[in-house]
Amino acid sequence: MVAESDEELWQSEVLISDSVGRLIEFWGFKRNMGRLWSILYLSDRPHSAPEIQEKLQLSAGAVSMTLNELLRWGVVKKVWLQGERRDHFTAEGNFWKMISRVFNERERVEVLDAIDIMEDAIEFLKGKAKDPASRARAQFQEERVRELLDLARFGKQLLDTLIKDAKVDGSPLMNVLLGGSGRR
């Protein structure tokens, strides 16, 4: 009987890495980011870039760029292994930490931009409301924009509450949503 290579992906790893890759791509990230993170998350030990390259059949450049992006997002960590000269990597396992970082660096920025634009629109509409010919239209639009602005500010407040100083831990919610211990 031939022993399985440590470099060969199991069917479970292929399925999960492809699934997470598609999900990550849906959220606007690169598919390989999800695939690489999944392989590290499912592994019981850190991996070097060449090991990841072999497992995922990616070029050295693709692995390097993907690891750098994942390190920047804080979803992969560089670890030191005694006696090893190469860098090794492991996945961040705290889902809430990863999600809150994305909320802070992506969604929150978009909401802040929307708030600024809505405030600019209100200033424009105040000027238009001074003209009798456009007053009704300007007042109607200002009312609608203020409703959108209230919603955007609520979204900002919600995001701020979720990510502020990591005081809110979403793990209990994740446990409830995933059924107790997070396993089915």
Q: What is the pLDDT of residues 62-74, one digit of tens each?
A: 999 999 999 998 8
Task: Count the Cβ atoms, other than its own, within 10 Å of residue 3.
Answer: 5
Which pLDDT band holds residue 77 (cuts at 50, 70, 90)? very high
Distance between CA 136 and CA 6 in Å, rounded?
A: 71
What would the pLDDT profile of 151-160 be if each residue is shown by its tens digit? 999 999 888 8
Are 14 and 57 a contacting pair, CB within 8 Å? no
What topology is assigned to 11-91 in CATH? Arc Repressor Mutant, subunit A (1.10.10)
Number of H helices, E strands in the chain: 8, 3
- Check if the beta carbon of residue 159 is closer than 8 Å to that of residue 153: no
Q: Evaluate if residue 169 carries a pLDDT over 80.
A: no
SS3 121: helix
What's the sign of the alpha-carbon dihedral 127, 133, 138, 143?
A: positive
Q: What is the average pLDDT across 127-151?
A: 95
Residue 134: is its pLDDT beyond 50? yes
Domain residue ranges of the chain, discontinuous segments joined by +: 11-91, 95-177
> Is residue 146's pLDDT more than 70?
yes
Identify the weakest region by mean pLDDT among 70-74, 113-117, 141-145, 171-175. Answer: 171-175
Share of the chain above pLDDT 70, in %: 85
- 166 pLDDT higher than 60: no
Confidence of residue 2 (pLDDT cuts 50, 70, 90): very low
